[in-house]
Structure 1
Amino acid sequence: MSAASSPDLLAVYATTVAPELARTLDLGGYRWKSVATAAEAAEHEPPEGWAGMVVDATADSVTAWAFIRSFRKSSSASASTRLLVLISGAQISDLELRDELFDDFCLLPVHPAELEARVRHLLWRTGAEPQADLVEYRELMLNVATYQASIAGRPLDLTYMEYELLKFLSQNPGKVFTREVLLNRVWGYEYYGGARTVDVHVRRLRAKLGEEYASMIETVRSVGYRFGQTRWS
C-alpha cells in the first residue's frame, strides 16, 4: 500500500516541521506526511481520511488557523479527522470560539513523552491505534497500552490506581473479590494500606462511571465487590 493511500497516515502541518516533533513521531512508530496547504492535504488525503492531524500554530497562528478552516471544508473525510493543535502559552486566547475546529491542543515547549501521549490519545479515539490491547465489557472500553478508558464513548479521567482496579474487575466479570484479595492483586503484596483504600477507590470509580453505570461495580455484603450485575451480564 502506498503512503498516499494508507488509512493510518498522520498529516503534519507546520511552516517547518520541528526536529523534536519529527523525532517524537518517528520514535513512536507513526507514519506521517508533512503538508503545507489545505490543497496539498486534500491531494494526499487517503480515501478513508487522515488518521489524524497535528497542526503547529506557533510560528504563524493566523495562517495555521486559516489552514485548519480550509481543511475542514475540503472534504467529508476531513470533517471527521481528529486534530491536535500545538500552540505557545501566549496563544491560549486563540482557542476561544474555535472549539469546532480542533479536538485537542498542546502547549509548547512540551516533553516528548507528553506529546507522544497526546498523539496516541488522538489516534485512539479514531480507532487507528492497534486494537489488540483493548479490554471491552459492554459499554466499557479500556486501552491497556495508553491507560485510557471510556464508558459509552465518554472518556473517563482516572488515576493510575483507579484504572488498575477497574481493569482488574472488568477482566474478571461475575467473580467476587474480597477487599484483601483486591489489595493484593491490584495494589500488590508489598502494599500495607487498609481495606478502606479499596472502598475509597470503588466509590470514586462509581462516581466517574456516572449514575447509569455505577452499578457495574456491585457490593457483595460482608464479602467484597463484583463487576457486573445481572442487567450487565
Structure 2
Amino acid sequence: MLYCQGIEIPVIVIINENQITSLRLSTSIEEIFVYPGYPGEFELRLSKLNSKYHVDLQETIIKHRHLFIDLEKYEVYVSDKKMALTYKEFQLLVLLASNPGHVYSREDLLSRIWGYDYLGGTRTVDVHVRRLRSKIEDSSNVFVETVWNVGYKFKVID
C-alpha cells in the first residue's frame, strides 16, 4: 500500500511464474498476480481492490468531532484553533485519521511515512506520536490510541 496525501493506493505486483522465487515480499504489496493467470482473474482482483479501497478523491477535509484536517492546505484545526504541525506529524495524523480503528504497527508507520530507506529505529514513531498528541489532544479530545506492543490507531468516534 502506498500512501499519498491521505489516499491509500494499493500496490499490485504482476510477475511471471518463473519470477516467484525472486520476489521479495513487502508490507506495501496488496496483491500478487501471476501472469497470464486465469481468464477474468486480473479483472476480479482489480474489482476487489477497488471496492476495498475506494476513496472519493474530491474529499479534501477529514472531520472527527472537534478535529478538522484540510488535506489541500495542510492545515489542522482542533476546536477551531489552528495547530502548527510538522510535515511528518501531519502525514501521521492524516494516515491514522483516514482509517479510524485500523491498527498500524510502528514498522508499518515507518515504511508508510518515513519510507523504506529510513535507517532509524521504530521509537521515532513513538516520539512523533507523543509530539502530535501534545499538540492536538487534551483530556476531552483524545484521538490517537496506543495498542500496546503493536502500534497506534485513530480512535473510532461513535
TM-score greater than 0.5 by the shorter chain: yes
- Normalising to structure 2: TM-score of the pair? 0.59
CA distance in 2, matches of 1:143, 1:175: 21
Does 1:163 pair with 2:90?
Answer: yes
CA contact (8 A) 1:206 1:214 kept: no
- The residue identity in structure 1 corresponding to 2:150 is V
Report what 1:204 is aligned to.
131
Does 1:138 pair with 2:65?
Answer: yes
Q: Which runs of 5+ in 2 are unaligned?
A: 1-57
Per-residue CA distance 1:160-211 (angstroms, 9 max, x = gap): 1000000100001001111000001111122222101100000001100131
Q: Which has the higher contact order (CA 8 A, sep 6+)?
A: 2
Deviation at 1:149, TM superposition (A): 0.5
Identify which range, 184-193 or 198-207, moves more after superposition. 184-193
Report what 1:221 is aligned to.
148
**Sequence identity (%):** 45
- Normalising to structure 1: TM-score of the pair? 0.41
Per-residue CA distance 1:90-117 (angstroms, 9 max, x = gap): xxxxxxxxxxxxxxxxxxxxxxxxxxxx
- Write out the 4+ residue segments of structure 1 that deviate beyond 2 Å after TM superposition: 212-215
Question: Which has the larger share of helix?
Answer: 1
CA contact (8 A) 2:137 2:143 kept: no
Per-residue CA distance 1:57-107 (angstroms, 9 max, x = gap): xxxxxxxxxxxxxxxxxxxxxxxxxxxxxxxxxxxxxxxxxxxxxxxxxxx
Q: Secondary structure at the match of 1:215?
A: coil
Q: Which runs of 5+ in 1 are unaligned?
A: 1-130
From 194, 204, 209, the equivalent of 2:121 is: 194
RMSD over aligned Cα, in angstroms?
1.7
CA distance in 2, matches of 1:213, 1:144: 24
CA contact (8 A) 1:206 1:213 kept: no
CA contact (8 A) 1:216 1:227 kept: yes
